[in-house]
A and B are shown apart, each in its own frame.
Chain A
Amino acid sequence: MLAFILRRLLQSVLVMLTVALVSFGLFRFIGDPINNMVGQEATMAEREALRESLGLNDAVPVQFFRFVANAARGEFGVSYRMARPVADVIAERLPATLELALISGVGALVIGIALGVYTALRRDGWLSHAIMGLSLVGVSLPTFLIGILLIYVFAVELKVLPAFGRGEVVALGGWTTGLLTTSGLKSLIMPAITLGLYQLTLIMRLVRAEMLEVLRTDYIKFARARGLSNRAVHFGHALKNTLLPVITITGLQIGSIIAFAIITETVFQWPGVGLLFITAVQFVDIPVMAAYLVLIALIFVVINLIVDLLYFVVDPRLRVQRSGRGH
């Protein structure tokens, strides 16, 4: 047990170090930090002095070590474009993205499971077919098109929902939330749908597949034979058995929800880290890109670790399989 946890921890640290290396490479070699800090008229001597004072003349491993040490303290330097410390900017924007990701993630989970169970139980119903068909359409439509269509219908034509932004936000300490105001909640609806739709279809299809599988097992047949009601069989036995993989997958999807938020945030002008990142890519704002990269990796690694540990706790059989990853 302890050995497993230690190994996973070590792996996580390795992943983070690799990401830090990529991020450092970006920082050090792509955007020449000097060119971005001084004007064209700066003399060679001035450049050299700045180079020295920034420690750019040190050996690369030394610089990398310093980068990691700074990153661990949340210091990523100053954004070229906004002229503010990257950590401040990200801290300001993160609540918006996390709130959006959380709401759409939970929404996708709840609705996805409900629809998944329904379509599994009523495999041949016309509604099930319609839902499955629609879900494929949803997967085939690019996220940005869905967002634009929603804006067109609900903001422009029907005028019931705001077209952009977060609405009024309330500051709770360092955290700003839009969940406590009407305009904040209304602003959340369309971005959450746009962002969650893809995960919703994913979860729905997974639940359906797992349910169908479980319903076919002897265990369920036996439960039916015992005369248990359909309800008890479906929800007490079948669903319970499908939830473990579903929750695992959902956990792993949180990382990609945050990344896909880039598109949703662009369409809805949602003031989160995704919008920050896409702007950084367009303006080659390397410090912001580097910091965002490390942040996403961190979120992903932490979730991955938690999911692994949960799995381990819940299902001891996996100990054997897990040792040979990749199955």
Chain B
Amino acid sequence: MKTPRVAAALSIATAALAALAAGPAAAETVRWAAAGDALTMDPHSQNEGPTHVMNHQVYDSLVFRDQAMKLAPRLATSWRITDDPTVWEFKLREGVKYHNGNPFTADDVVFSIMRAKHDNADMKGLLTTVVEVIKVDDHTVQMRTDGPNPLLPNNLTNLFIMDREWAEANKVTVPQNYKAGDETFAVRNANGTGPFRLVKREPDVRTELERNEDYWGKGIFPMEVSKVVFTPVRSAATRVAALLSGEIDFLLDPPVQDLERLSAAKGLVVRSGPENRTIFFGMQQALPELRSSDVKGRNPFADKRVREAMNIAINREAVQRVVMRGQSVPAGIVAPPFIDGYDKALDVVPATDVARAKALLAEAGYPNGFSVTLACPNDRYVNDEAICQAVTGMFGQIGVRARLSAQPKSIHFAELPKGEYDLYMLGWGVPTMDSHYVFHYLFETKSDKGGAWNFSGYSSPRVDELVTAMTREIDPDKRAGMVAEVWKTVQDDVVYLPIHHQMLNWAMKDNIDFPVQSENYPYFKLLKFRK
């Protein structure tokens, strides 16, 4: 660790450098861009990546995932399961103040968790097992769940703590109802304990943050950035141009085709790493007949041989090499490599075999193939539309005539839950870092209790039974056995068609030292400037 004096000298040096490079820009200001803006500053209203990115700067959660993806203390300094296996206890950090000077106490945690459980809050989905939040003393909180929940802290990484007094004074004790178009005080104003204060917020135009000089994490985190200016820029070419011309310092989502140029550009550097997200296709396999197909009276996807044929029709290496320019890891399983329960032996990329795929289709009774509509987003994942176009051609080579329908994410993700799609693209990240999250959302039979994102119609009683049982299983070995069995079953059934694990690339000025974080959350408090 540097002494403060060295740090000061360093920041003066970088200031001089930055001033030379970019003209009048202030010393430790970081100006950055990404395609989309946060939807709201209300910390509990939306469970969406870009929204969390912004709120992570202004608010603190109890725990968070550091750049090594390990669960790290934040407003909670320690946590443990009490003697009662259904009760978790969190010790809270002392001496923490909100931006308005109010002290942070256990009351705020109780208030915030209950606020996030409100019907308006999108974050309620992560707290379904929490039945009660109890204040033990000013700096101790307990959470009671409806059964043993050994992984509860994993669900709290994006749950931000608000000041109860501030919320009451500004009448924002209830989260914004985003769908109904609520405009509350908390949507454009924020009062967190976080490393930065919200100074200016113009949605879709500009957001300015200033360093919180009283931050509890001073001395723990580098905290070298004094001002953060965010501009959302929709056009990819414009974003790249802005970085190349020095108008921004940091670009969260450079297009893969421009990485080479950005790395080669003087004064710029691209930092990369694996992302916690896998891209795959889902097939509707439960309906008696597909809605978008010319095959009537039966559903081709109900036949495992057809799903298998689709799986081996895809040339994942070609997608990786040409569409992704090497910025992906071809996948054989719908979970990123670093989660619990991931097994390299299952993540085997199926070899492309057009002849065998055709034979399988013929065997299943579709010697001439069939038609189907492929639904894709065009602004959500890296090169999503291009992947879909490429895969459409590969399906065509085995006789499956896919019609591509690519839509903006707002439409794709509004239609998808209605179950209207026969063949669709989806990407899945695992914030809890555990296989259960994947099973619970993607493989459990769709019902009120689970399978919320299982639009394939897949239903296996054995899988459902195991998935429910593993939440309550305290013996790690037994639990691992259950996880392995589910993976084996769903892999044998070819439920989804995995494409690849995404890679993350952050492009920045080369005087910035900012390794990627697999959840794609830039924590500006961790950013350091180089000599």
Report if A and B touch in the complex (beta carbons < 8 A).
Answer: yes
Most buried by B among A81, A155, A163: A163
Is B204 within 8 A of A151, CB to CB?
Answer: no
Give the chain B neighbours of A81 by CB distance below 8 A.
Answer: 410
Q: Do residues A84 and B183 form an inter-chain contact, with CB atoms below 8 A?
A: yes
In the assembled complex, the Cα of A66 lies from the Cα of B108 at a distance in Å of: 44
Report yes or no: A83 in contact with B187, Cβ–Cβ below 8 A. yes
A311–B206 Cα distance when bound, in Å, is 43
- B-contacting 9-mer, from A118-126, A192-200, A264-272, A290-298: A264-272
Chain A residues closer than 8 Å to B478, beta-carbon distance: none
When distances are taken between beta carbons in the complex, the residues of chain A under 8 Å from B417 are 40
Q: Is B179 an interface residue (CB 8 A)?
A: yes
| Cβ 8 A contact of B203, one of A38, A82, A182 | A82
Closest to A93 in B: B205
Q: B71: CB under 8 A from chain A?
A: no
Contact status A159-B179, CB under 8 Å = no
B-side contacts of A92, CB under 8 Å: 202
Q: Which residues of B contact A269 (CB under 8 A)?
A: 231, 233-235, 238
Given A83-B178, A267-B235: A164 and B183 within 8 A (CB)? no
A138 within 8 Å of B by Cβ?
no
Q: How far is the CA of A314 from the CA of B199 in the complex (A)?
A: 52
Contact A159 B408 (CB under 8 A): no
Q: Tell me if B181 and A83 are in contact (CB < 8 A).
A: yes
- Closest chain-A Cβ to B127's Cβ sits at a distance in Å of 18
Contact, CB under 8 Å: A282 / B231:
no
One digit per residue, 1 when the CB lies within 8 angstroms of any chain B CB and 0 when it does not, for chain A 182-212 equals: 1100000000000000000000000000000
Q: Does A29 contact B (CB under 8 A)?
A: no
B105 contacts the other chain (CB 8 A) = no
Measured CB to CB, the closest approach of chain B to A70, in angstroms, equals 16
Instruction: Give the distance in Å from the alpha carbon of A284 to the alpha carbon of B239 in the complex.
Output: 25
Q: Is A80 an interface residue (CB 8 A)?
A: yes
Residues on A with C-beta less than 8 A from B178 are: 83
Asked if A156 and B241 sit within 8 Å, CB to CB, the answer is yes
Per a CB cutoff under 8 Å, which of A39, A85, A161, A268 touches B179? A39
- A152 interface residue (CB < 8 Å to B): yes
A164 contacts B242, C-beta separation under 8 Å: yes
Question: CB-CB < 8 A to B408: which residues of A?
Answer: 282-283
Residues of B within 8 A of A79 (CB): 181
B181 touches A268 (CB 8 A): no
In the complex, are the beta carbons of B245 and A83 less than 8 A apart? Answer: no
CA distance A183 to B235 in the complex (A): 21
* Interface flag for B182 (CB, 8 Å): yes
Q: How far is the CA of A38 from the CA of B181 in the complex (A)?
A: 10
A155 cross-chain contacts in B, Cβ below 8 A = 241-242, 244-245
Contact with B along A60-81 (1 / 0, CB 8 A): 0000000000000000001111
A151→B236 CA distance, assembly (Å): 13
Residue A5 CB within 8 A of the other chain: no
Q: Which of B412-439 contact A (CB under 8 A)?
A: 417-418
> Which residues of B (202-231) have their CB < 8 Å from a CB of A?
202-206, 231
Query: Of A83, A152, A165, which contacts B183 at CB under 8 A?
Result: A83
* In the complex, chain B residues whose CB is within 8 Å of the CB of A39: 179
Query: Are A164 and B241 in contact, CB atoms less than 8 angstroms apart?
Result: yes
Taking the closest CB of chain B, its distance from the CB of A189, in whole angstroms, is 13
Residues of B within 8 A of A279 (CB): 204
Q: Interface residues of A, CB < 8 Å — how many? A: 36
Given A78-B183, A82-B203, A156-B244 contact (CB < 8 Å): yes
The distance from the CB of B264 to the nearest CB of chain A, in whole angstroms, is 13
In the bound complex, CA of A267 to CA of B237 (Å): 9
Please determine whether B410 and A163 come into contact, CB atoms closer than 8 angstroms: no
In the complex, whether A148 has a CB less than 8 A from a CB of chain B is yes
The residue on B at minimum CB distance from A268 is B238
Assess the A37–B245 pair: CB atoms within 8 A.
no
Return the CB mask of A134-153 against B: 1 if under 8 Å, else 0: 00000000000000100110
**A116 on the B face (CB < 8 A):** no
- In the complex, are the beta carbons of B238 and A162 less than 8 A apart? no
Cβ contact within 8 Å between B238 and A82? no
Instruction: Tell me whether B493 is interfacial, beta carbon within 8 Å.
Output: no
* Interface flags, B234-263, vs A, CB<8A=1, else 0: 110111111011110000000000000000
Nearest chain B CB to A156 CB, angstrom units: 5
Q: Which residues of B contact A266 (CB under 8 A)?
A: 234-235
Give Cα distance in the complex from A17 to B515, angstroms.
Answer: 58
Which residue of chain A lies nearest to B240 when distances are taken between CB atoms in the complex?
A: A156
CB-CB under 8 A from B240, the residues of chain A are 156
Name the residue on A nearest B261 (C-beta). A156
Q: Which residues of chain B are near A165, meaning CB under 8 Å? A: 231, 233, 242, 247
Is B311 an interface residue when CB atoms closer than 8 A count as contact? no
Q: Which of B183, B203, B245 contacts A85 (CB 8 A)?
A: B183
A residues bordering B, Cβ < 8 Å? 36-40, 78-85, 92, 148, 151-152, 155-156, 159, 161-165, 182-183, 266-269, 271, 279, 282-284
Q: A155-B244, A165-B233 are in contact. List 16 more A-B contacts (CB 8 A).
A: A37-B179, A37-B181, A40-B418, A82-B204, A83-B181, A151-B237, A151-B238, A152-B241, A155-B242, A156-B241, A163-B247, A266-B235, A267-B238, A268-B238, A269-B231, A269-B233
Subset of 10 A-B contacts with CB under 8 Å: A37-B179, A37-B180, A82-B204, A83-B183, A92-B202, A156-B245, A164-B231, A183-B24, A269-B231, A271-B205
B contact set with A: CB distance below 8 Å: 24, 40, 176, 178-183, 187, 202-206, 231, 233-235, 237-242, 244-247, 408, 410-411, 417-418
Q: Which 7 A-B pairs have the closest CB atoms?
A: A163-B241, A78-B181, A271-B205, A83-B181, A155-B245, A164-B238, A163-B242
